[in-house]
Amino acid sequence: MRLITFTRSGSSTPEIGARIPNSSGDFVLPFGDVAKSQSIKDFPSGMRDFLRSGSKVMEQAKAWVKAIPEAPSQLLLKASSITYLPPIMDAEKFLCVGKNYRTHLEELKRTNLIKEIPQEPTSFIKLNSCLSGHEAKVVRPKGITRLDYEPELVFVMGKRALGAKKADAMSYVAGVTILNDLTCRDLQLREVASGSRFWTGKNIPGFGPLGPEIVTIDEIADVYNLWMTCSVNGEERMRVNTRDQIWKISDILEHFSRFIPIEAGDMFSTGAPGGVAVGKENAEDLYLKPGDVVECSIDGISTLRTTIVD
């Protein structure tokens, strides 16, 4: 199932539903409309609450989606008529694991963005205020010239984890989505030099395109055999397999849930693969400019599209 948060044309109220891929054009099934048509009261209206409601609510939504081919719903909306929002807009915790791809570590060492390789998972916090949705226009602030792309695989938690063990990690995962962890290298280099860990260069408003959807984990055959790709204006800049990750979600969840509860609706972004602009000799030519269209993909599964504007 492809879970989305969206607004429909003429409305500013966020809703949740499922994207229904179709050869004749994608459609959206709004869960609130289906619940109302079946006189179901108090169905969750937000994605975080949906995930926290447990497996019964998730299975109900899957049943609605599964029934569409046999009984096409009159409630379907054309996907072209909605505006995508970040699938989860109000996560309590969105932790971004850094330095997690071997190929990216080599880039960071060459560019002096790291001094040593961590011996356990490290992370920084992605602020909700920086998130944007699929097809969003992201403003490059004045004075910023080194805007970089970072496609990342994100794990979305489906139930509470405290003291989780590696062997059980996948049982806590609801699904995966994509983050383009847009990074202002101008600011990041200054922060590294000063020892700051706030990562201003990653938390500017709009600098967290997320989505377009949460692909439920039952639709992913192997999360560690996925190709993460990034293209700019149709030119592929990066293609790296998730098997290159150093810390798997089992390591990450066990590490961070030792003392702090990880709740349903919390997210872990698992780091940038190798191939970002800053690691290239011609980096100045590759940094994102107004008018650039960036596509970050889990190859063959989902694509997140962003346009950079001045």
Name the CATH superfamily for 94-309.
Answer: Fumarylacetoacetase-like, C-terminal domain (3.90.850.10)
Closest-CA residue to 170 (of 158, 152, 182) = 158
**pLDDT of res. 197:** 66
Residue 141 has pLDDT above 90, yes or no: yes
Query: Cβ distance 256 to 45 under 8 Å?
Result: no
Return the bridge partners of 101, or none: 245
Query: Which 8-state DSSP code applies to residue 146?
Result: -
User: 3-state DSSP call for residue 84?
Assistant: strand
Residue 189 has pLDDT above 80, yes or no: no
**pLDDT of res. 199:** 74
Percent of the chain having pLDDT more than 90? 78
> What is the tens place of the pLDDT at every residue in 142-162?
999 999 999 999 999 999 999
**pLDDT of res. 108:** 65
User: 3-state DSSP call for residue 163?
Assistant: coil
Residue 223 has pLDDT above 70, yes or no: yes
Query: Which 8-state DSSP code applies to residue 115?
Result: S
Query: Cβ distance 73 to 33 under 8 Å?
Result: no
**pLDDT of res. 290:** 97
Q: 121-125, 224-228, 255-259: which range is least confident on average?
A: 121-125
C-alpha–C-alpha distance, residues 231 and 206, integer Å: 19
Domain with CATH 3.90.850.10 in the chain: 94-309
**pLDDT of res. 193:** 67
C-alpha–C-alpha distance, residues 48 and 224, integer Å: 25
Closest-CA residue to 126 (of 179, 190, 49) = 179
C-alpha–C-alpha distance, residues 179 and 172, integer Å: 20
**pLDDT of res. 7:** 98
Q: Which two tokens stand for residue 193?
A: 């030099």
Predicted structure pTM score:
0.94
pLDDT grade for 194, boundaries at 50, 70 and 90? confident
Residue 289 has pLDDT above 90, yes or no: yes
Q: Which residues have C-beta within 8 Å of that of residue 164, sequence separation ≥ 6? A: 172, 253, 254, 257, 262
pLDDT grade for 102, boundaries at 50, 70 and 90? confident
Task: Report, as an integer, the average pLDDT of 208-224.
Answer: 97
Q: Is 41 exposed, middle or buried (0-12, 13-18, 19+ CB in 10 A)?
A: exposed
Length of the chain: 310
Q: Mean pLDDT of all residues in the chain?
A: 92
